[in-house]
A and B are shown apart, each in its own frame.
Chain A
Amino acid sequence: MSDNAESPTETQKEDTPPPSDESTISEEKKKIDVLLKAVGDTPIMKTKKWAVDRGRTVQSLSQFISRFLKLDASEQLFIYVNQSFAPSPDQDVGILFDCFGSDGKLVLHYCKSQAWG
């Protein structure tokens, strides 16, 4: 009963589209399994397990979760590793997986919070 699903193709928002040439390091194309767990009364994602490109950043993943959960523009999403710290937004999930993954997956807890202040 696998919840496994591929990361959906994201609509490109950036001005300059990412390079599409095949010389992109294949390393970045490798995917790692991420298990997303909701904290508190944050909505639970129907699909919790995702295969994510190693090279995807935490920020990119966070944006994806926010959109998936249809968070209000004023709501902040916090992501925790090991339930003990927040990874830097620019961090590659692949690196997080290498350092903190267990049982073949990286568990990330997420929590939404109201606007700051």
Chain B
Amino acid sequence: MGSTTLDEQNFRHWCQLLLQQSEQLKDGWSWEAVQVMTFITVTCVTSLILYSLLPQSLSVVSSEADLVNGEIDIDDEDDGVWTISEGSSQVLQYEYHILYSCSYSTPVLYFRAFTLEGRSLSLEEVWSCVHPSFRLRLQKSPLSTITLQEHPLLGQPFFMLHPCRTEEFMKPVLQAAQHKHRPVNYVLSWLSIVGPLVGLDVPLKYSIQLRPAASFMASPD
């Protein structure tokens, strides 16, 4: 296993392990199959906070740039000033699908989001739910990382988290796994990194169970 990508067989294997853990944790992941292609999916109802960047912080940056006319130290403006918009915590239903991308040889995350009344969220609304620690950087990239796509198997519109950076952020994990001769669940690790961007929290228990010292005699929580 010298590569930082994933072949389809291993993808299924890791998904299977994840599903086993999910069953123990009653976390709700399940297999779906469309013709011969399979993917795993989970639907969560979560209360997500809608973040917004204070307009003032943006204008401060630009006016300082005009005045100073040179490098401004943006350290203090790093991440901007995030605030939680008044009364903008929403209960939403998110549906996540993990598919295998043949072109990137990595998992890829598709999702859609609805209000409890069944209205789909717009791309802009989805962006406002992205955690502040990621949002600025995601939005600054020339290729927007979250885009609206046609689900490869279902044909319906889904949001997709672009997989082109996957290899890069998986590299440290895979190198460490190789080095320590300790296998790591690619799909689980990948999900723990990309999930938080789009409101999916991977419970710590998934990772605790992977520890060698973990006891499997513990009663399910």
Contacts and interface: CB of A to CB of B under 8 A. Distances in A.
A99 B165 contact: no
Interface string B121-136: 0000000000111101
B31 interface: no
- Determine the main DSSP class of B at the interface with A: helix
Interface string A73-107: 11110101111111111110001100110000000
Interface centre among B172, B189, B192, B202 (most CB of A within 10 A): B172
A113 B165 contact: yes
Interface of A: 11, 13-15, 39-40, 59, 62-63, 66-67, 70-71, 73-76, 78, 80-91, 95-96, 99-100, 109, 111, 113-117
Interface in B177-199: 177, 180, 182, 184, 188-189, 192-193, 195-196
B176 interface: yes
Interface of B: 54, 74-76, 78-79, 81-83, 131-134, 136-138, 140-145, 162, 164-165, 168-169, 171-173, 176-177, 180, 182, 184, 188-189, 192-193, 195-196, 201-202, 204, 206-208, 210-211
A99 B208 contact: yes
B169 to A, nearest CB: 5
Contacts of A116: 137-138, 141, 143, 145, 162, 165
A111 B74 CA distance: 21
A84 B176 contact: yes
Given A40-B171, A80-B173, A117 B201 contact: no
A84 B140 contact: no
A75 B123 CA distance: 23
A71 B145 CA distance: 20
Contacts of B169: 78, 111, 113
Given A63-B78, A73-B74, A80 B172 contact: yes
Contact of A115 (B79, B141, B180, B202): B141
B131 A59 contact: yes
A73 B193 CA distance: 19
Nearest to B200: A88
Given A78-B169, A100-B208, 5 more contacts: A15-B54, A86-B193, A87-B204, A88-B195, A89-B133
A89 B131 contact: yes
Contacts of A96: 204
Contact of A66 (B78, B83, B141, B162): B78
Contacts of A89: 131, 133-134, 196
A53 B61 CA distance: 31
A113 B54 CA distance: 26
A84 B145 contact: no
A95 B162 CA distance: 31
Given A109-B172, A117-B145, A84 B133 contact: no
Contact of A85 (B144, B145, B171, B188): B188
A28 B169 CA distance: 31
B140 A115 contact: yes
